[in-house]
Amino acid sequence: MDEYVKVSTEVYVKKLLEEGIRPVTAEKFARIKARKGTPGEAVVSWSVDQFGNEIKEKEDVVTIDEKTNEPGWIVTKVNENGEEIIDNNGHKNQWIIKDSVFKGKYEVDPNNIGIYKPTGGKQIFIQIPDNIIVTQWGSEMKVSSGGYINITNPDDMYVIQERDFNDTYRIIDSENIKSHNK
């Protein structure tokens, strides 16, 4: 099994940029199902590495968002038919989002009852060449080589596995990317 190294996101991004790794621009297109969680409710987020081996990204629990006083959301990625995505290892593509973050990133899809669509716009990412562990939103998260760091907002950088990136984002500027969705 490949080794994972714990890094500071800010320091790691600075190093990669200094080494000449160039960012890419992408737009989120993926739809999700979401529901308010119950404080204390646990969710395990799973993904796969570049070889298809499962990665237990993180374990998290629903908490009350200090900004809104509301519980977080349990979010599940869905396909174009609104069906929950289940990976080859039998895991749902599921995670927890704080209430204030959810409200800033998603809105109801008027064409699909029970489905939410992203609100964002263009975002900037850097693809990572290493297996890393970062602290993200209070939890440690593993991301394997080929994954990405969203560097759009330097105060809210976050990681995403390559598979999840390809299922979620459409690259607009791919001049310097070695593997991406078409």
Provide block-wise average pLDDT over 10 residues at a time, the chain (182 residues): 88 96 92 96 85 83 96 92 86 91 91 88 93 84 93 90 89 59 37
Nearest to 60 by CA among 117, 135, 7: 135
Give domain status of residue 23, yes or no.
yes
Does 82 fall in a domain?
yes
* Domain assignment of residue 178, yes or no: no
The per-residue pLDDT for 123 is 92
The overall pTM is greater than 0.75: no
Question: Could you list the residue range(s) of the whole structural domain that residue 42 is in?
Answer: 5-173
pLDDT the model gives residue 79:
85
How far is 141 from 75, CA to CA, in rounded Å?
17
As a whole number of angstroms, the distance between CA 60 and CA 68 comes to: 19
pLDDT score of 129 = 95
Q: CB under 8 Å to 7, separation ≥6 — which residues?
A: 130, 132, 133, 134
Domain count of the fold of the chain = 1
Residue 180 lies in a domain: no
